[in-house]
């Protein structure tokens, strides 16, 4: 029974990691791709031109999604603490 709990807990933790990190990766990917197309079209090769919009985009994403992220994280943590408290972990 011990290995099943560890595998399930690891699966849930990895899923939560993807769920919480996915929006940031998508914002960075879309902004980076958009800026790269603009840089290729205008032949401007400035590194900060792609870094600054990504920084602001990820900051905006963090600001907008922070409440949802905290709820997801606290739900996961509460479930683990309840499992430990109930003696369900071996």
pLDDT at 57 over 80: yes
pTM to 2 decimal places: 0.75
CA 19, CA 26: separation in Å to the nearest integer?
A: 11
| Tokens linked to 19 | 């769920």
Average pLDDT on 39-51 reads: 83
Average pLDDT on 35-50 reads: 84
Residue with tokens 């972990």: 89
The 10 Å Cβ neighbour count of residue 66 is 10
CA 75, CA 69: separation in Å to the nearest integer?
A: 10
What local confidence, expressed as pLDDT, does residue 27 receive? 94
Position with higher pLDDT, 49 vs 12: 12
Q: Where are the domains of the chain?
A: 2-86
């Amino acid at each position: 029974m011990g290995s099943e709990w560890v595998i399930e807990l690891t699966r849930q933790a990895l899923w939560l990691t993807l769920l919480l990190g996915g929006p940031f990766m998508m914002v960075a990917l879309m902004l980076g791709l958009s800026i790269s197309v603009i840089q290729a079209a205008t032949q401007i090769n400035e590194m900060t031109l792609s870094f600054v919009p990504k920084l602001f985009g990820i900051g905006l994403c963090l600001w907008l999604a922070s409440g949802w992220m905290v709820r997801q994280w606290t739900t996961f943590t509460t479930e683990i603490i309840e499992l430990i408290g109930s003696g369900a972990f071996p």
